[in-house]
Structure 1
C-alpha cells in the first residue's frame, strides 16, 4: 500500500488486529508444546536485545530530527498568515514545537539520552525510565492533537515498559519501599572475549558520534534544512495593495473570492496565493530572472499563467499578466516577519506583567 505519511491508516489497524489474532493461537500452541521447559533465559535475552536496538534506533532518529530541526521546522511564511482557528490540531502542535530552537534541543537531547542509556546493559533500567517519561508525553500529544503516529508511539512506550518490567520489582522496592537493592548478575550468552570487546568499542564510538553531533548543533546552531533550501529572489510574504482585473480595481472585500490577499513565496519552486476569503491556492512556481517572468501552474491543471514582474523598490513588487482570459495587474508590498508578534516577541527574564496575546 502507498505510504501517505500517516501511521494510523485503516490498513495499519487491520494489520495490528491480524497480528494480534495470530499471536494468541501461536502462544497457546508454543506453551503446550514447550510445557516442560524451565526457563527461556537465552530467548528472553535476545528478545530484550531486539527491543533495545529498536528503541535505540527510534530515539536517536527522533532525537536528532529535533536537534537538527528536521521534524519541527521553523514557521513557514504561509503558517505566519494563517489564523489559529483555521489550523488543524496537528498543525497547532507542529507550530508550537517548531517555534523554539532550544526547546527542540532539550526534547531531542532527552530522547537521545534515553537511547544512549539503552546501549549499555547496566543503564538499561534508567534508560527505560527516561524513555517512558518522554514517550508518555509524545503519546499523549499524538492522542490529544490527532497526530497520526499513535500506533508507533504506543509501541515504543510499551517496549520501554517491557524493559523496565525486567527489573520492575527492584525499581519498586528502591523507590517505594526504601529497600537496599542487591547487584544483578546478568545472563551472558556470549563467551568470546574478543567479540565482547568489539561490541564495547562500537558502543562507545556510537555514543561519541551522537553526542558530537548534538554538541555541534547546540554550539553553532547549524540549520541543515535552511542550508539546503534555495530561495527565490521573490521570497517573502507579499500583501496586495492594488488589484486590477480587466482594468477594474477590485476593492479589498473579505467576501471577494477572486482578489488575492497575499502572494507567498517560501520555497523556490512553489508559491501560495491566499484569497480575501482565506482560501488557499497552491502553485508550482518558476522564476525566469533574465526575462523578469514568473510562471504559475497548478498541480492539477496543465494551463500555465505567465506574469511579468518588476521591483519598484526592495519592498514593493508589481505583477502584470493573465489568468485564463482575465488581464491582471497587482501591486504588492512585502510584509516583514517582524510584523508578526510570534516572531518579534523575544525572551525576557523580567516580565512586569503577563504578555499573553
Structure 2
C-alpha cells in the first residue's frame, strides 16, 4: 500500500511524494482552521491577486462552513501545500522513509477526529444540534422550506434517531483512542460521516468542506491498514497479527501517553457536555413561559370597526400570532408572509407592546384571556385600530406531532 503502519526501511519515490502532499495539506488545513483569522490581510491579498476574486469577503462566523472565505482559505491551503511539497521534495529527496513522521501524523489525525466525533455525537445525543420543532416551523408548509430546513425538521423530529446517529459518531471517535481499534473506528467514521457529507451535498447544508475533510482524514487512517482490510473483507484471507511501528520505546512514557489520552478524552467529553447543558439552559430560558406561549389562530379580525373576512389573498389580515420565545412574536398573514416583532408583556396594565425589529415605534394592545384557550387584543397598529379574537391552536392538531409510533400498520400512513 502507499502508506502503512508497519515499519519499512525504504519507501518508493511515489509513496514519499504522496505522503508529503497528504501530510502538508491536512496539517495546514487544521492549522488554518485556527490561525486564519490572524492572516486576514494575507488571505485577502491572495484572493485578490491569485484567485482574482477580489478582497471583499466576510470573515465573521455565521454558522456556515462554506463561505467565500472558506473557499479562499481552501485555495490558500492548496497553494501553500504545492509550494511546500515542491521545496520539501527538492531538499529532502535522499531520505529513505518517513516512518516516524507518519506515526505522529496519524496521532494528529486521530486527535482531530476524536474531538470532532465526540462533538458531533454528543450534540446529537443531547439534542443540541437538531432542536425540537419551533411553533413557526409547525405552520410552515414543506414547499416553503429550504432543503436545509427540511433536513433539520427531519432530524429534529426524533430524539431516538439522534441518539442512534450520535452514538455511532461517538463510538467511531472512541475507537480511535487505541491503535488496535483504529481501523474499525475509521471504518465507522467513514460510514457515518459519508452519510453526513451526502446530506450536506444534497440538502445544501453549508458544512460541506468540513465533513468532506473529516471523511478524507478517516480514509487516510484506513489507508494505513488498507491492504490487510482489503484482504480480510474482499479476498477472504487470514490476517496475521502485525507489529505496528512505535517510535517511543520507554515504557514509562508509553504509560503516561496512555493515561493522558484517557484524561484528554474525559476532559473533552466533560467540556462538551457542560457546554451542551449551558446551551440547553439558555434555550430553556429563551422560551416564553407566560400564558401567551403558543400558536394563536385568528377567529375574528376587526379593522377600524370593519370586520375583515379571512381571504387568502389578503396581505393585511392576521392569520396567526406565534409566541414561542421571550420578547419575540411572529405575525403570519393570510398570504403566509411573516412579520417579526419585539414583544413585551405588561401584566400589571394587561397590555402587550409590539415593536418591529428595524424600528422602535411601540404598538400597544390591551389583552384579555376569556379562558386559557381564547385571547382578545384591542389596540392600534400603524394608525389602524384593531380588535382581534384568537383561539389557541393545540400542537395535537399537527399530524407530525400526534402521529406516534405503531408496531402494527395495516396500510401505509404517508401524508
2:324 to 244, 266, 273: 266
2:295 to 237, 250, 257: 237
1:275 aligned onto 2:333: yes
Paired residues, number: 350
Contact 1:309 1:320 (8 Å CA) reproduced: yes
Q: 1:113 is matched with which residue: 166, 171, 185?
A: 171
Q: How does 1:63-82 map to 2 (within 5 A)?
A: 63-82=121-140
Partner Cα distance (1:273, 1:124) in 2? 53
Q: CA deviation at 1:42?
A: 1.7
Instruction: Compute the displacement of 1:302 (Å).
Output: 2.1
Distance (whole Å) between structure 2 residues aligned to residue 47 and residue 200 of structure 1: 17
What's the counterpart of residue 33 of structure 2? none
1:204: how far off? 4.1
Q: Match of 2:82?
A: 24
CA apart distance, 1:211? 8.7
Q: TM-score, normalised by structure 2?
A: 0.80
Give ranges in structure 1 of 5+ residues lacking alignment: 216-222
Q: 1:213 to 1:24 in 2, by over 3 A?
A: closer
Deviations 1:262-306 (A, max 9, x none): 000111121111100000111122222222222222221222222
Alpha carbons 1:254, 1:276 under 8 Å: kept? yes
Structure-1 separation of matches of 2:160 and 2:92 = 53
Listed as ranges, the matches of 1:147-166 within 5 Å are: 147-166=205-224
Correspondence for 2:181 among 123, 132, 145: 123
Deviates more, 1:95-104 or 1:180-189: 180-189
Conserved in 1, the CA contact under 8 Å of 2:353 and 2:365? yes
1:44 corresponds to: 102
Residues 1:172 and 1:275: Cα distance change in structure 2 (over 3 Å):
same
8 Å contact 1:69–1:225 — kept in the other structure? Answer: no
Deviation at 1:202, TM superposition (A): 4.1
Which segments of 5 or more consecutive residues in structure 2 lack a partner in the other structure?
A: 1-58, 274-279
Q: CA deviation at 1:232?
A: 3.1
Question: Are the aligned partners of 2:287 and 2:324 in contact in 1 as well (CA < 8 Å)?
Answer: no
Residue among 287, 290, 305 paired with 2:345: 287
> C-alpha distance in 2, partners of 1:107/1:210?
19
Q: CA deviation at 1:77?
A: 0.4
* Offset, 1:140: 0.5
Q: Map Cα deviations across residues 185-215 of structure 1 (whole Å, 9 max, x no partner).
A: 1222334433432332344456678899999
In 2: Cα distance, 1:206 partner to 1:352 partner: 51
Determine helix, strand or coil for the equivalent of 1:342.
helix
Aligned equivalent of 2:8: none
Alignment of 1:146-225 (within 5 A): 146-204=204-262
Shift in CA distance, 62/353, structure 1 to aligned 2, threshold 3 Å: same
Partner residue, 2:68: 10
Name the CA distance, whole Å, in 1 between partners of 2:149 and 2:108: 34
SS in 2 for 1:353: coil
Aligned to 1:219: none
